[in-house]
Amino acid sequence: MDISRLIDPLNEPQREAVCTDSQHTLVLAGAGSGKTRVLTHRIVYLIETGQASSFGVLAVTFTNKAAKEMRSRIDTLMEQPPRGMWVGTFHSLAHRLLKTHYKEANLPEQFQVLDSDDQLRMVKRIIKDLNLDDTKWPPKSAQWFINGKKDEGKRFKHIPASNDFHEQGLLKVYEQYELICQQTGVVDFGELLLRAHELWLNNPKVLEHYQDRFRHILVDEYQDINSIQYAWLRVLCGEKAHLMVVGDDDQSIYGWRGAKVENILRYSEDFKNVATIKLEQNYRSSGHILKAANAVIGNNSGRLGKELWTDDEDGKQIRLYAAYNEHDEARFIAEDMEGLLESYNEMAILYRSNAQSRVMEEHLIRLSIPYRIYGGHRFYDRLEIKNAMCYLRMLLNRHDDTAMERIINLPVRGIGNKSIDTMRIFARDQNISFWQAASQIVEHKILPSRACNAIESFITLINDIDSQTGDLNLTDVTDLVIKQSNLIAHHQKEKGEKGRTRVENLKELVSAAASFNNESDNSDLSEFVSQASLDAGDNQADTHEQAVSLMTLHSAKGLEFDRVYLVGLEEQLFPHKMSMDDPDGLQEERRLCYVGITRARKHLCLSYAESRSLYGSSQFNASSRFIREIPNEHIQEIRLKSQITRPVMYTETPKEIMNDSGFQLGQDVNHPVFGKGVILSCEGIGSNARVEVKFAKSTKWLMLQFAKLEAL
């Protein structure tokens, strides 16, 4: 077998990693050093040299996207697509295991996955049922508590009773929550991992089977692994498996949700015979950018220590723009992009928090620059989609209370809150499911006849749909559901753009079902519903359209662009005020900055605003310490064009700077419609001259030739 095509394109450390004989391997892969390449080549290498069969390979990632990417890259490397190989996220693998061994895991065959939305509803209800004050125990934080515990691998029974009154409440919620999940046969994300781990521990035979099978286990993004994922992996590996983990301690940015960098730092202690390989040659960014990244991350302590280098030239210096407010910042970027011939697809604006995107949008729209915001709600999280999915869930399992509660009066069929309350209490007292409660209430006419009729119509509806689905395929079932349930009609009645998009989304769901049917050759409804909760539902519908990408630094991890604008580099914002006082928090912020810088291939532009209005009030923050951590020789400061002034609060008397608008920054003006305002900025010449004015209720850009502005 000729493996030169696998080996030849690699550099020395990459090759070492791909060909290692070591049982355990830690690959420290810096940003842009080719880690996915190492992982995929390694897998194909193992198979083609006969060291592993494809059945014996397990590769774990964090996101579905990464799993998909890995799969397709392996497929292109291999002469024939490998069979029986497991590639997936921790969650999807756990789900698969639990589906197969549902009995051993003490789950119903048709158990469903509870997404965070459903989870929150459930927690809310429990808090209410327990008569807990939801101001003292906000559902969100109870949810956070539960998930945190599960990420640590702790069930209610593992947690010692607490003296703290507040924690006692949380524990009660947790206890009740576990109970209800078990009763209704639903499993949340953390539970998937927890159960999968317990499956190993409680069923030695099952464990043994998988230990025998998976002799080669590979894990991507190892720095992001949490306690329960680690535990699961540790048990599966046992003594025999070969474990290769790939990660970068400098890119650990999910500590706040349970990821433990310690796992990567401790790897050589936890496993024996570890070969450590560092990938430090970077193939992505030019010199200045890389050196800046090294300098910044160099301020962190406790690193495993890597220093990226490149064969590439220094390239362009990093530009630094000092804006005087967030509008100036956004305007500068939009104008900077406007004249470029590069493709918009190769540009990104990265920010620390989502709230920053709006101003950017405004200015991009103004210059008609197409953009796409990442990290919105996932397709399957949209209201109308969730509703439709709940109908599907009801077909699978009538006792899915969460689903039923959501759709029993949707579209409206005259079952009011009072009736639902009665049903809920009835169900709880009798210890039966919502569905059973509904049937009995109808049967014994416990509610007024109008309500009973309505409830009965719901029961009939579900049964009717169910009886029609007999030999239909998945696509047709979905289509049937959205029509028969009247969801389409319901949203069609909604006026405005909203209703239209909702109807479109519902139709999109039918095509999603169709493609699930085709791609995975699977028409199992249950699988489809599970996949929906485990999959983000690919947000990137129109990737082909040219557009600038806007996203948070977190969601930028793993991506790269020719031209990156890293904005809002101000103390309090980045590093964020919630994290900066804690040393670990600050280090994580710095890693985030490192991630941001290393996203850029050729151009990086940093910016900060001297004044930023956030949540109503203006803040005057110092520029971020991260800027100062970059040596000067890599930075080129950009000064403003002559007609625009620097800082100066608008409330103060502005400097004597005139521009083509004839107005001064900070000047008070009056507008016939909007009333009194203050000039924030001016731009354009002659008939294009326009000013930005802050009025009492809004801030607007006005064309001077049209707006009848009066100086005060």
Partner DNA sequence: CCGGGTAACATTTTT
Partner DNA sequence: TGTTACCCGG
3-state helix, strand, coil in the chain (%, to 5): 50, 15, 35
Residue 552 as a binder of DNA (CB under 7 A): the answer is yes
Residue 579 as a binder of DNA (CB under 7 A): the answer is yes
For residues 227 to 256, the per-residue mask of contacts with DNA, x marking binding by CB under 7 A and - elsewhere, is -----------------------------x
- Smallest distance, DNA to C-beta of residue 65, A: 6
Residue 23 known to be catalytic: no
Coil/strand/helix, residue 551: strand
For residues 194 to 223, the per-residue mask of contacts with DNA, x marking binding by CB under 7 A and - elsewhere, is ------------------------------
For residues 335 to 374, the per-residue mask of contacts with DNA, x marking binding by CB under 7 A and - elsewhere, is -----------------xxxx--x----------------
Residue 141 as a binder of DNA (CB under 7 A): the answer is no
Check residue 576 and report its DSSP letter.
Answer: B
- Window of 6-14, 61-69, 558-566, 654-662 that interacts with DNA by CB under 7 A: 61-69
Q: Among residues 257, 266, 498, 641, which is the contact residue for DNA, using CB under 7 A?
A: 257
The span from the CA of 617 to the CA of 603, in Å, is 33
Residue 402 known to be catalytic: no
Listed in order, strand segments (DSSP E) in 248-400 are 274-279, 318-325, 347-351, 371-373
Residue 63 as a binder of DNA (CB under 7 A): the answer is yes
The span from the CA of 591 to the CA of 578, in Å, is 16
- Smallest distance, DNA to C-beta of residue 617, A: 7
In sequence order, what DSSP letters do the residues of 85-113 get, joined into one string? -EEEEHHHHHHHHHHHTTTTTT--TT-EE
Residue 198 known to be catalytic: no
- Smallest distance, DNA to C-beta of residue 340, A: 26
- Would you say 401 or 589 has its CB closer to DNA? 589
The span from the CA of 65 to the CA of 699, in Å, is 40
- Smallest distance, DNA to C-beta of residue 621, A: 14
- Smallest distance, DNA to C-beta of residue 478, A: 21
Residue 549 as a binder of DNA (CB under 7 A): the answer is no
Residue 116 as a binder of DNA (CB under 7 A): the answer is yes
Residue 221 known to be catalytic: yes
Q: Among residues 388, 487, 534, 630, which is the contact residue for DNA, using CB under 7 A?
A: 534
- Window of 15-23, 170-178, 469-477, 550-558 that interacts with DNA by CB under 7 A: 550-558
- Window of 62-70, 477-485, 506-514, 651-659 that interacts with DNA by CB under 7 A: 62-70
Confirm if 24 and 243 have CB atoms less than 8 A apart: yes
- Window of 5-13, 175-183, 547-555, 648-656 that interacts with DNA by CB under 7 A: 547-555
Confirm if 562 and 347 have CB atoms less than 8 A apart: yes
Coil/strand/helix, residue 11: coil
The span from the CA of 434 to the CA of 342, in Å, is 58
Residue 115 as a binder of DNA (CB under 7 A): the answer is yes
- Would you say 6 or 246 has its CB closer to DNA? 246
The span from the CA of 466 to the CA of 461, in Å, is 8
Restricted to residues 494-513, the positions that interact with DNA (CB under 7 A) are 495
- Would you say 47 or 509 has its CB closer to DNA? 509
The span from the CA of 573 to the CA of 577, in Å, is 6
Residue 92 as a binder of DNA (CB under 7 A): the answer is yes
Residue 301 as a binder of DNA (CB under 7 A): the answer is no
Helix (H), strand (E) at residue 25: strand 24-29
Residue 35 known to be catalytic: yes
Residue 479 known to be catalytic: no
Restricted to residues 370-429, the positions that interact with DNA (CB under 7 A) are 375, 378, 409, 412, 414, 416
In sequence order, what DSSP letters do the residues of 497-536 get, joined into one string? HHHHHHHHHHHHHHHHHHHHHHHS----HHHHHHHHHHS-
Report the DSSP pairing between strands 186-188 and 24-29.
unpaired
The span from the CA of 205 to the CA of 581, in Å, is 49
Confirm if 461 and 487 have CB atoms less than 8 A apart: no
The catalytically annotated residue of 221, 249, 400, 535 is 221
Report the C-alpha dihedral over residues 653, 659, 660, 663, rounded to 10 degrees. Answer: 0
Report the DSSP pairing between strands 112-114 and 186-188.
parallel
Restricted to residues 470-499, the positions that interact with DNA (CB under 7 A) are 495
The span from the CA of 546 to the CA of 550, in Å, is 13
Check residue 599 and report its DSSP letter.
Answer: T
Residue 554 as a binder of DNA (CB under 7 A): the answer is yes
Report the catalytic residues: 35-36, 220-221, 251, 599
Residue numbers at the binding site for DNA (CB under 7 A)? 62-65, 89, 91-92, 115-116, 189-190, 256-257, 352-355, 358, 375, 378, 409, 412, 414, 416, 495, 534-536, 551-552, 554-555, 576, 578-579, 585, 589, 613, 615-616, 696-699
